[in-house]
Amino acid sequence: MHDVAIEARGLSKWFGEGDTRTYAVREVSFEARHNEILYIVGPSGSGKTTLLSMISGILRPNVGNVQVEDVDLWALDDNHIADFRLNTVGFVFQDYHLFPRLTTVENVAIPLILKRRNWNEAIGEAMHCLEVVGLTGRAALPPNKLSGGEQQRVAIARAIVSAPDILIFDEPTASLDGDTGRKIIEFVKKEVLNEKRCILIVTHDNRIFEYADRIMAMEDGRVVGFNKGENRA
Amino acid sequence: MRGILKIAYKLLVNDKGKFAALLIGITFAVFLMVNVTSMFAGMMMKASATVVNTGAKMWVMDRAVNTVASSIPMPDYVLNAVRSISGVKYAVPFYSGAGLARLGDGTYQGVTVLGLDDTSLYGRPALIQGHIEDIYAENGFIVVADEELPKLHNPKVGTEFEINDNRGVIVGVAKVPASGLFGVPTLYTTFSRAIQYIPSMRYTISYVLVEPASPAAIPHIKDEVERLGYRAVTETEFVARNTSFYMWRTGMGINILIMTIISFVVGLSISGQAFYTFTLENLDKFGALKAIGAKGRELVAMILLQAGVTALAGYGLGVGLCAFIIALAKVRLKDYASIVTMRNLGLAFGMVVVIAGISSVIAVRKVLRVEPFEIFRG
Ligand SMILES: Nc1ncnc2c1ncn2[C@@H]1O[C@H](COP(=O)(O)OP(=O)(O)OP(=O)(O)O)[C@@H](O)[C@H]1O
Ligand SMILES: [Mg+2]
């Protein structure tokens, strides 16, 4: 296994055709490495979410390709792309998308259940992940009974439960106060990041910039530069 | 897949408010459907009571007869002609008509009079009081102990009355499987006494009851009777004939049919709508599952399970509610005509399956179209 986890080459995505065609992402190329937290920053509408979607198998690019662990992602068929998302990527959505009708531990177990793991085993491993994020005591509650920061940690537990190589966070701290946000990222850095993993975080929140290894800035669909995060220096 | 279905099940039943709304739609529709069709089935059983109670394998009648209650007398030669058809083991005359009874206190009461063949008493009822031979006694009548009995002031063996200005005396009390639709008591007597006491035309035989030598002889008997210019039907065919007359040629059946269709449409719209709303409200959840890596067929399976559970639970509740209400009604109203038949249940089940099917198709189309990117973008 070499250092590069994700390699994006010439990614473009546009919406609409003809006069109404608008570019969300234009010819973006970058690499993300193992054991790295890469931030993607930029003004609203600059294409950050679109870019994350293209490298995580959610949105097909119009042009360009993505190599993840030496697999050409967009050359796969739909079922294999779904499997890729299930096996290789962990998502933390901006508004979590937790299931209020399931208990917290069941929410965390969902990726394992989608992987056809036996129910009790899946719940057991989910419980272990809840322990990692420090929420064992909340396992039986529905997630809407939890605080925002706790819900965020549930979403993280769900993202890491199937031990994915790539973790994708879109605006993880947008709805949290500064202290909680920082604690969450600190936790991710300490407990979630490892040699085989790479974490991509989209954020506006400069309170958490200090935890970045590199910061990639976007503007109008293009990458306009990289900053070294304060952390690695 | 079992874990995924378990999730789908939990998403459904843990959302108690929505689940209740879904159930109410199906339950209500099933209740209405089973209720009206059972009522019809109950009335039809009563309408064919004479056929069922008599138990003859085949009935010969005028071609214009629509229901057992409206018989058209046939001339005597028909009986002899039927007897001479090969494959007929025996054939006997049967009388069915309406009489007017004058009770002890001087009040009148309409009655159905059934006349059994004098020699064989073929089609006789089971007696709970008295002896069947007493039917030959002077003015002897056997009364049927059904819900209509009180209308004759609960006569017992020995009770006297007048029937169409002739003397009558109760010599036995009978029990029969089904009682009539028209709310009048039934009296059995011999064929000869019936045509003597009840004013009739030159022709006196209402029906010829036939016992075929074997089931294989039935088609031949039918053909031969047809050639005579009359009609021969089996017991089940006669019941079906009665039913189809009420079903298609009276307001009763048509209205029941319309009512059934309305319950179906109401059930479909309530449940379809509720299920659609339920799916819409869960659309982002389905989208999130898709983003995480659920495949299309897994989402379809989830929806089918949810629709299936709702349909089955609603069906059970609807049938249960219906049975409960019918049981309750029968406690209060002895004449309440309603029986839940397998066919009613099957029909309602079929409709529930259609409702669940249509609802799931709509939901599935919606869910398969959801773009995980839209969910991701928030
Ligand atoms: N389905 C779509 N149809 C048309 N335009 C779209 C669609 N999705 C995204 N866009 C456009 O693409 C551009 C980039 O959107 P994107 O969501 O990637 O931005 P972003 O950087 O994540 O912004 P934000 O910080 O507000 O989340 C925007 O101009 C947006 O309007
Ligand atoms: Mg965004």
A93 touches chain B (CB under 8 A): yes
Question: Dihedral, CA atoms, B152, B153, B159, B165, nearest 10 degrees?
Answer: -40
Helices A148-160 and A178-187 cross at an angle (nearest 10°) of 20
Whether residues A106 and B7 touch (CB distance < 8 A) is answered with yes
> Does the reported pTM lie above 0.90?
no
Q: Which residues of chain A lie closer than 8 angstroms to B10, CB-CB?
A: 101-102, 106
Q: Are B13 and B309 in contact (CB under 8 A)?
A: yes
Residue nearest to atom 10 of ligand 1 (CA): A24
What is the tens place of the pLDDT at every residue in A71-100? 899 999 999 999 999 999 998 888 888 999
Cα dist from B364 to B253, B277, B291, whole Å: 37, 13, 17
Q: How far is B376 from chain A (nearest CA, A)?
A: 6
With a pLDDT cut of 70, the percent of chain B lying above it is 100
Show me where the domains of chain B are located.
Answer: 2-46+251-377, 75-229
Q: How far is A50 from chain B (nearest CA, A)?
A: 8
**Whole-number pLDDT of residue A1:** 46
Given a cut of 70, is residue A2 above it in pLDDT?
no
B3 touches chain A (CB under 8 A): yes
Cα–Cα distance, B223 to B211 (Å, whole number): 16
**Whole-number pLDDT of residue A94:** 80
Whether residues A117 and B284 touch (CB distance < 8 A) is answered with no
Q: What spacing in Å lies between the alpha carbon of B137 and ligand 2's midpoint?
A: 100
Given a cut of 60, is residue A29 above it in pLDDT?
yes
A182 touches chain B (CB under 8 A): no
Q: Phi and psi of B55, rounded to 5°?
A: 75, 15
Whether residues A122 and B3 touch (CB distance < 8 A) is answered with yes
Q: Phi and psi of B203, rounded to 5°?
A: -85, 140
Q: What spacing in Å lies between the alpha carbon of B377 and ligand 2's midpoint?
A: 6
**Whole-number pLDDT of residue B118:** 94
Q: Which residues of chain B lie closer than 8 angstroms to A122, CB-CB?
A: 3
What is the tens place of the pLDDT at every residue in B74-119? 999 999 999 999 999 999 999 999 999 999 899 999 999 999 999 9
What is the tens place of the pLDDT at every residue in B2-16? 899 999 999 999 999
Q: Residue B88: which region, alpha, beta or left (left: phi > 0; alpha: psi -120 to 50)?
A: beta
What is the tens place of the pLDDT at every residue in A182-213? 888 888 888 888 888 999 999 888 888 888 99
The closest-lying atom of ligand 1 relative to the alpha carbon of residue A94 is 27
